[in-house]
Structure 1
Amino acid sequence: MAKAIKITLNPSIPKQAYWSAIFSLFMGVTSLIAAEFTPISLLTPIAHDLNISEGVAGQSITMVGVFAVITSLLLSPLTKTINRKLILLCFSAMVIASNLMVAFAPNYGVMLIGRGLLGICVGGFWSMASAVTLQLAPPKDVPRALSIVYAGVSVATIIALPLSSYLGDLIGWRNVFILSATMGLAALIWQLVSLPSLPAQAGNSFRTMFDLLKQSWVLVGIIGTILSYGGYHVFFSYLRPFLQFNLQLTSTKLTLMLLIFGIANCVGTFIAGLFLGRYFKPTMITVHLLLAIIALSLFFTPHHITSNTVMVVFWGLLFGFIPVGWSTWITRTLADKAELMGGLSVAAIQFSIGLAAAMGGLVFDHFGSGGLFISAASIMLLAILVMKLSFSLYNTITGKPF
């Protein structure tokens, strides 16, 4: 059995918080995640314009995941001497370029290239986000700083779902990506002005990364992360076609539904900390069990519009617990290896999202939304078993209660 990794404290602790820089990261996260998931609310018009199916259009999400996985694993070891401010600014510029490539894509191939470029940004930015935030705030302000940065995910959910859907119907999907590029430009300028010098942290090597993977509880936890995000995204990636065709919502009702879904996700993110801080293990298990139950309920009640819409909203609310939950798992077990563990976590999440989008596309095209619900429920139940194993291994190997 692998020997436990020694925990060391990060000597680079700022005396005061760089609040403007922290909010610039919030803006960067918002623009990045909005760009990543905007196609979800625009699958139908994108597919129609490029003469492809919704399932094929959904593979543009897979492309982001593939490049994000590769980048998140390679970035820290290959750039261990480069100032993180320079890297963050390069990623923000690439987000702009990616959105513009998609906006003016003459065919599906060019669109995929643009999405691949975005994948590099997603993997790189997220692998450094937590570690960089720790360099921007003293210990007493770190929880608040992290909540600000990760709030960008919830805000991006609202932008990527109801707002993009509404604007897509109003001005066309290509103009939505032009607006997304504009938001990215604002983030770039803000970061250029506000970010201080961010020296790379020591110990970011491939050897240390492999040492992390030798810990059985880490490896099992990563598998749990993949299943957790995968079970959610196998349905989430094809949410719009389900609402539009299965529930037959009009354009106005569809936009309203996506808005409510996004708000529910925000609420879930904010209340997650209240439960996870005190009852981490039971909360994580209960959330995944409820998601599985909702998926099965949607399968058995395919034509009940009212109950289906309520369950979809609850699905969005519960997902707010998942990112917060797995971030808490990292901070409780490997806080001193934040950047490397962040890279591994991003790789797992993006691999999961990409695989879920690819699998979901095949399932949706061949078996419809019912197949998505069965897939989601099965994956969520498997995630519960893997999570419980990871928690048990951690307790056994480290001798520490979780």
Structure 2
Amino acid sequence: MKTPLSYHTEEKTSHWSAVFSLFMGVTSLISAEFIPISLLTPIAQTLHITEGMAGQTVTAVGIFAVIASLILAPLKINRRLVLLILSMLLVIANILVAFTPNYIILLIGRSILGICVGGFWSLASAVTLQLVPIKDLPRALSIIYAGVSVATIISLPLASYLGDLIGWRKIFLLSTLLGVIAFIWQFITLPTLPAQQGNSFKSMLFLLKQCWITVGIVATIFSYGGYHVFFTYLRPFLEHNLALQTNSISTILLLFGIANCIGTVIAGFVMGKQFKITMIAVHFILLMLAITLMFSHKNITFNMLLVIAWGLVFGFIPVGWSTWIIRTLADKAEMMGGLSVASIQFSIGLVAAMGGLIFDHKGILGIFFSAALIFLFALILIQLSFQLFTRVTGHPIA
């Protein structure tokens, strides 16, 4: 029988294979979440629905991810079992989508996927805390979050290319295969992972009563919002504003994903040494990138480099916010994980709706201006959260 791990033991055994199994889980989860973005047209044509209806399958994932993130974190169930169930549900969700005969079954499959996404991310930081010593946490988190970057490559340029060759249903079957590999890997490598003590809905509400936590959550919403308000309209920008051909767009999206992966890996080393200054610097750089994009739309090559830089710098943000949770609330990481996932999904949904109105009325320049303004607010809120934490606890964030 596997021995339960401690949250606070510095000399604990490192379970790096289990960490990489979570990387595989993230890759399969996020690729499944975003594959429809590159395959909206063929999905809509096959099921005789509009592209707008097909696009709602991404929205369905977000809605159920928020619900799952708030419900699963307080439950006192062994996290190994929860993660394995979520991985199995991922496989079922992809199979439903791959063989769906109609729109209803498609939505059901995507809703199940949403439960997997929300459940996994709400537990990710706390589970990682049990798998490696505290000193190795930023590196472990960067490995896990690198799965997001790999999934971006799989779900955008690669899925789009292969979808034209073998059809969208087979793309989801390939995604199913990734899910099966993740399940088997996790089954073999994950140790017993007890739920954190004191988990409850009451504890989650108590966290929100602490001002520095609430400000940090709002900062998270702005942080992800500034990125996604542009990312959502990245393809229209490349296609219409820069007038790139399909092959060039696929290449830029591929480079974007690779740069994002590199940024995530670098973040794992930097965040462990200079967390506070890195978090502030990253958001300032993204603010400057958004402003520069506003005034450089005539230089195609320079714009492409800025887009790639955007992907590189964003790689720091997921690792950064997970590190923030572990540095400030390690003993409440599961509760904060649930709140963090809910705030991120809310942010993505909010900026998608807001960005649509801005893009229709002000075009891509309005998107860049909005991104810059959102990142400015994020910077202010991050600094305020850090100051409030120091004032309340008496311990500065390094």
Taking structure 2 as the reference length, the TM-score comes to: 0.89
Say which is worse superposed, 91-100 or 39-48, in terms of deviation. Answer: 39-48
Matches within 5 A, 1:161-180: 161-180=156-175
Aligned partner (choices 191, 202, 206) of residue 207 of structure 1: 202
Aligned partner (choices 27, 30, 47) of residue 27 of structure 2: 30
> 2:39 aligned with 1:42, yes or no?
yes
Asked if structure 1 preserves the Cα contact closer than 8 Å seen for 2:156 and 2:253, the reply is: yes
Corresponding residue number in structure 2 for 1:228: 223
Structure 2 counterpart of 1:182, which letter?
L
Corresponding residue number in structure 1 for 2:387: 392
The alpha-carbon distance between structure 1 residues 106 and 57, as it changes in their structure 2 partners (threshold 3 A), is same
Corresponding residue number in structure 2 for 1:72: 69
> 2:82 aligned with 1:90, yes or no?
no
Gaps spanning 5+ residues in structure 1: where?
A: 1-8
Q: Deviations over 1:300-345 (max 9, x none)?
A: 4434321221111111111011112112211221112111111111
3-state SS of paired residue (2:73): helix
The alpha-carbon distance between structure 1 residues 351 and 263, as it changes in their structure 2 partners (threshold 3 A), is same
3-state SS of paired residue (1:16): coil
Superposed CA RMSD: 2.6
Matches within 5 A, 1:290-309: 290-309=285-304
Q: Deviations over 1:20-78 (max 9, x none)?
A: 3332212111111221222333345555666677666544333222211111111122x
3-state SS of paired residue (1:201): coil
Structure 1 counterpart of 2:321, which letter?
W
Q: Deviations over 1:168-195 (max 9, x none)?
A: 2332333222211111111112222332
Asked if structure 1 preserves the Cα contact closer than 8 Å seen for 2:139 and 2:268, the reply is: no
Say which is worse superposed, 44-53 or 385-394, in terms of deviation. Answer: 44-53
3-state SS of paired residue (2:345): helix
Corresponding residue number in structure 2 for 1:5: none
Alignment partners' CA distance in 2, 1:37 and 1:206:
30
> 2:317 aligned with 1:326, yes or no?
no
Corresponding residue number in structure 1 for 2:13: 16
Asked if structure 1 preserves the Cα contact closer than 8 Å seen for 2:259 and 2:308, the reply is: yes
Corresponding residue number in structure 2 for 1:251: 246
Say which is worse superposed, 373-382 or 271-280, in terms of deviation. Answer: 271-280
Corresponding residue number in structure 2 for 1:6: none
> 2:143 aligned with 1:148, yes or no?
yes
Alignment partners' CA distance in 2, 1:113 and 1:176:
18
Matches within 5 A, 1:63-142: 63-77=60-74, 79-80=75-76, 82-139=77-134, 141-142=136-137
> 2:298 aligned with 1:281, yes or no?
no
Corresponding residue number in structure 2 for 1:266: 261
Alignment partners' CA distance in 1, 2:110 and 2:274:
38
> 2:306 aligned with 1:337, yes or no?
no
Asked if structure 1 preserves the Cα contact closer than 8 Å seen for 2:138 and 2:268, the reply is: no
The alpha-carbon distance between structure 1 residues 301 and 173, as it changes in their structure 2 partners (threshold 3 A), is farther
Q: How many residues align?
A: 392
Alignment partners' CA distance in 2, 1:248 and 1:47:
25
Say which is worse superposed, 171-180 or 203-212, in terms of deviation. Answer: 171-180
Structure 2 counterpart of 1:254, which letter?
I
Structure 1 counterpart of 2:17, which letter?
S
Task: Tell me the CA shift for residue 100 of structure 1.
Answer: 2.7
Structure 1 counterpart of 2:87, which letter?
S
Corresponding residue number in structure 2 for 1:4: none
Structure 2 counterpart of 1:398, which letter?
T
3-state SS of paired residue (1:200): coil
Q: Deviations over 1:256-314 (max 9, x none)?
A: 11111011111111222444344433332332233233223333443432122111111
3-state SS of paired residue (1:128): helix
Alignment partners' CA distance in 1, 2:218 and 2:175:
32
Alignment partners' CA distance in 1, 2:283 and 2:177:
37
Taking structure 1 as the reference length, the TM-score comes to: 0.88
Aligned partner (choices 233, 238, 244) of residue 238 of structure 1: 233
Structure 2 counterpart of 1:224, which letter?
A
The alpha-carbon distance between structure 1 residues 293 and 145, as it changes in their structure 2 partners (threshold 3 A), is closer
Asked if structure 2 preserves the Cα contact closer than 8 Å seen for 1:58 and 1:358, the reply is: no
Task: Tell me the CA shift for residue 383 of structure 1.
Answer: 1.2
Task: Tell me the CA shift for residue 92 of structure 1.
Answer: 0.7
Gaps spanning 5+ residues in structure 2: where?
A: 1-5
